[in-house]
Copies of this chain bind each other. A is one copy, B any other.
Amino acid sequence: MLGAGFAGLHVAKGLRRAPVRVTLIDRQNHHLFQPMLYQVATAALSPGDIASPVRAVLRRNANVDVLLAEARTVDVAARAVTLSTGRSIQYDYLVVATGARHSYFGHDEWERLAPGLKDLEDALEIRRKVLLAFERAEQETDPDRRAVLLNFVIVGGGPTGVELAGAIAELRRYTLRKDFRNVNPREARVLLVEAGPRILSTYPEELSRKATEHLGRLGVEVRTGAIVTDIGADCVVAGGARIATETVIWAAGNVASPLLGSIDTARDRQGRALVLPDCSLPEHPDVFVLGDAAAFVHQTGDPLPGVCQVAMQMGDHVARIITTESRHETVAADRPAFHYRDKGSLAVIGRGRAVGEVKGAHVTGFVAWLTWIFVHIFFLIGFRNRIIVMAEWAISYFTFSRGARLITGPATWPEPGR
């Protein structure tokens, strides 16, 4: 089994009573609660708060071996996976749940200038960039340069982009307000740039409007219909307009894990494997592809969205299939199809502000925000993380401060004139 994200963990846990040995391979030693990653990027939480060691999560699953390694290639004919450690592992069933990376639509050179947000390293890099921008502005004597340093541009108006924009706007407005002497963090501009006609395009139109309103009240400028055509060291060109900035964050596109390239199967534009209704690959009933790595199009015509709910439900589904078949020692001809039950979706915009849909009903404002908090605490893996995150949030809520405002990694920038 490849990948210890939501899909992978749900398969591993679901196989607890199946007569199989599970080898779970991931290149990180921790499962990451990705929906809260933007809070690490904006200094509200520490990496340890939203990540749990995979071994600890699966401690009681005696039939699971956890291996820290990267899967390099899959040989579906030989039923084997080659690892970065040089080892090769045979399988009876293979579950590929290796997720996605950001896509720069052919402009890979933008990655260095506009980091995306997928793992803890990304989040720490974004945190470093944002906090350093304020530190640099504090020491800048030229007011024009200072304004450039205090422009923050987020590319992509999906949930991640909206949550990042809201969180940076709040960081600036509440948290950093009293900390600087020469810059007024309120001078900082936060721009959210979206290529499509509206932000949160997968949500109903009314919620997009509400979200734009909420962001506006926090001081975020939302520019829709603005396709990014260039990113340089000191600017972004979006919708034809040049925006001077040195801090760009990428939340625009995804592409499925490159591992899928080693399997000869049909893929969509985003590199996701087109799966059958049971989540297996055509002609390879022993290979399942789940979560963000899969394009599942059987219910609505559109592929299911890359959210953790889909991944978890797919994981449960596949675990049931494998459990049944391994008990009967046969591959069933009529496997049950996967049906996604959408429990709703929520995007947080700031302190006490969120928008979303829960069981078909639109929720906004404080109620949506509280719902988000409870749902996320509930799904957060690990008792310790729940206690610590609740404490962090409670302190932040009442004190407007953020605990994790550390710059780690190089706390320097190019010296002037070099």
Contacts and interface: CB of A to CB of B under 8 A. Distances in A.
A127 B131 CA distance: 25
A135 B416 CA distance: 44
A198 interface: no
B407 A384 contact: no
Contact of A405 (B29, B46, B395): B29
Contacts of A387: 391, 395
A65 interface: yes
A406 B392 CA distance: 19
A27 B411 contact: yes
Nearest to A28: B411
B403 A48 contact: yes
Interface centre among A29, A69, A392, A417, by most chain B C-beta atoms within 10 angstroms, is A29
Interface in A171-225: 176, 178-182
A78 to B, nearest CB: 21
Interface residues of A, number: 61
Given A28-B411, A179-B53, A411-B68, A406 B84 contact: no
B406 A120 contact: yes
A113 interface: no
A284 B412 CA distance: 31
Given A59-B178, A391-B387, A415-B85, A407 B46 contact: no
A416 B138 contact: no
B46 A401 contact: no
B385 A403 contact: yes
A388 B396 CA distance: 12
Contacts of A121: 408-409
Interface of A: 27-30, 46-49, 51, 53, 55-56, 59, 65-70, 84-87, 120-121, 124, 131-132, 135, 138-139, 176, 178-182, 382-385, 387-388, 391-392, 395, 399, 401, 403-409, 411-413, 415-417
